[in-house]
Amino acid sequence: MFSINSFLERFTQLIPDTHVVKKSCAMSILSVCGISIPEDVISYKQGTIFLTCRPTIKNEILLHKKEVLEDIRKHIPDIHIERII
């Protein structure tokens, strides 16, 4: 009989590990903006990073959005991140 686990195993590599994305995003924000934010305020879904932090911190990060995105792409080039919201 065909095992569904062996079939689904190949798809586990296609989904990016959100922990890796969150950690890389937090490190990039720290290196570019000089702001240390915890990983629990960062979420990732379908190429978009969502920040749920104070508006003043979020505005400072969005001012340096281009540099932050470039730094994230250097750390994890396999994952396509388009926006920070």
What are the pLDDT tens digits along the chain (85 aa)?
Answer: 667 877 777 766 665 678 889 999 999 999 999 999 999 999 999 889 999 999 999 999 999 999 999 999 999 988 889 999 9
**pTM (2 d.p.):** 0.79
Side-by-side strand order, sheet with 83-84: 42-45, 48-51, 83-84
Pair of tokens at residue 68: 């932050």
Q: What is the predicted pLDDT for the residue at 46?
A: 87
Q: What is the predicted pLDDT for the residue at 8?
A: 74
Q: What is the predicted pLDDT for the residue at 16?
A: 63
Please identify which residue in the block is written with the tokens 């570019």: 32
